[in-house]
Amino acid sequence: MNKACPAVIITPITMTEKIEHCDFLIIGGGIAGLSAALEASKSGKVILLTKGKTGDTATEYAQGGIAAAVDEEKDSPLFHLQDTLEAGAGLCDESAVKVLVSDGVKRVKELVKLGTKFDKDLTLEGAHKHRRILHTGDATGAEIERALAARLLKEKRVDVRNFVYGKDLIIEDGVCLGAHAHSADGSEEYTFLAHSVILATGGLCQIYLHNTNPRFATGDGVAMAYRAGAEVQDMEFIQFHPTSLVKPEKEGRRLLISESLRGEGAILINAKGEAFMEKHHPMKDLAPRDIVSRAILEEMKKTSSDFVWLSLKNMDRSKLRERFPTIYEGCMEHGIDIEKEDIPVSPAAHYFMGGIKIDVDGSTNIPGLYAAGEVSSAGIHGANRLASNSLLDGLVFGHRAGRAAARYAAEFDSKRLSSHRRKRAKTVKGSLKKDEILKLRLELKKIMWENVGIIRSGDSLRKAVEKIGRIESKLDFTSRDESEIELKNMALISGLTAKAALERTESRGAHFRTDHPKQNDADWKRHLIYKSK
């Protein structure tokens, strides 16, 4: 599958290539990248690359909130730990989760000091037994991103480069020394040499036809790290959010209908108007996301419908516009007035529980390379992420990765960079035309949705592996065309996801196989880890 994917692509430097040095290179500008940048910048020069403009991240679209046990009277990190472990279906690393829930309270309090404006009330979401979700209406991610970015701008310690695309990591003698990159339009190439590199590129759910992710979520960081020799784990665990708006998507992204609506009283009903979650789980509409997603599919099949309804009849509709402005406006754009109407919803790919294998300090198996946020996997989400733990993950482990990278950089021998062999493989304009790339991209997304989706089987997964391999064989791995590089990365991680799902012959959390419908702890209470040859 990966025979054409070298760890470092090598060719003579051209006059147009720019060579730059820094202490810390951070690739990705969401909550994990910004958190890492704030911490690392205390110890040296930071260059932060973003694939698009600042704010084009999954963090910006995070509606529900950030989970933390800040209510000391009614909640505790121990309760948060228990809920996270239960949702993770036996695959959480308990030591990493302890770090998440304990550090999380400290980091959230720091956000407040930075000027993050949370609403006064805590809300409830699926699989949480206590109200611990801090939120800013239904635009929490955007508010956190604003506060972090404002502090970075104020302190002027981070050099942010928008529209610069990280392509491949520079690995010499087993050590990460930086990354090759280029401008989004392909007109300029860069070599960034750094004492340490932090990948915070977010998730990969754009590999699915129906998803809630921004268009940049194509798995670039996981693909870069894998090609460079980093270990990746839990690739089979993709979380499908039960409730996305069933209307024409914008740029392949569906409008997320936050779980907070169900936390505040909304219920799911089928095409016949029947509430159905009670027969699927004791927590009813606030059951874990994998259970709700499969229940919705079952009801859709029974009623021959393409969606179910999220009924708001138990809510005070006059307060919906104020409490959920993002959802209100998004639904209005599609002709749905939630003050008067229910919302047609169905599941969509939402979050990646796997990623680059890291320890609790964000370290990978490659010295000098760190990762944080959705691109990484410390085992905190297990087989099924607890709602609103994603922003907390990026915040906590971004901070820890920045701190660990600073410790590493303090001992780094700068002579390694001055003696770096300034060579890389010749890049070409690209062998595929734009329409060919678009067709292959659509084909890949359909393969993943139909064969490696919410419900899987050995037959569907074998078909996916075969079809993805055929797409990979058509791609040029020396192309500098952004859309072809994206497709290359998407095909690589799609293949790894399908391979892992085929190998795991059980059902656990978000991974459900009709040919192996039971959880099998005796054989499969373990992580699948892959490393490029």
Which residues are the active-site residues? Answer: 289
The residue type at 116: T
Overall residue count recorded for the chain in this entry: 533
Residues 284-319 as b/e (b if ≥16 CB within 10 A, e otherwise) read bbbbbbbbbbbbbbebbeeeebebbbbbbeebeeee
Edge-to-edge strand ranges of the sheet holding 343-352 = 238-245, 343-352, 308-311, 267-269
Q: How far apart are CA 128 and CA 75, in angstroms?
A: 11
Read off the DSSP letter of residue 378.
-
CA distances from 275 to 278, 279, 307, 311 (A): 8, 9, 14, 9
Instruction: Describe the crossing of helices 482-503 and 458-472 by its angle, rounded to 10 degrees.
Output: 150
Q: 4 — alpha (psi -120 to 50), left (phi > 0) or beta?
A: alpha
Q: 44 — alpha (psi -120 to 50), left (phi > 0) or beta?
A: left
Structure tokens of 439?
């067709």
Task: Give burial (CB, 10 Å; 0-12/13-18/19+) of 410.
Answer: exposed
SS3 for 408? Answer: helix
Q: Residue written as tokens 């999380």?
A: 104
Nearest to 243 by CA among 206, 287, 301: 287
List Cβ neighbours of 427 (8 Å cut-off, separation of 6 or more).
9, 11, 189, 478, 479, 480
Q: How far apart are CA 516 and CA 504, in angstroms?
A: 9
Decide the pairing of beta strands 355-357 and 376-377.
Answer: parallel
SS3 for 120? Answer: coil
Cα dihedral value 475, 479, 482, 484, nearest 10: -10
List Cβ neighbours of 294 (8 Å cut-off, separation of 6 or more).
454, 455, 512
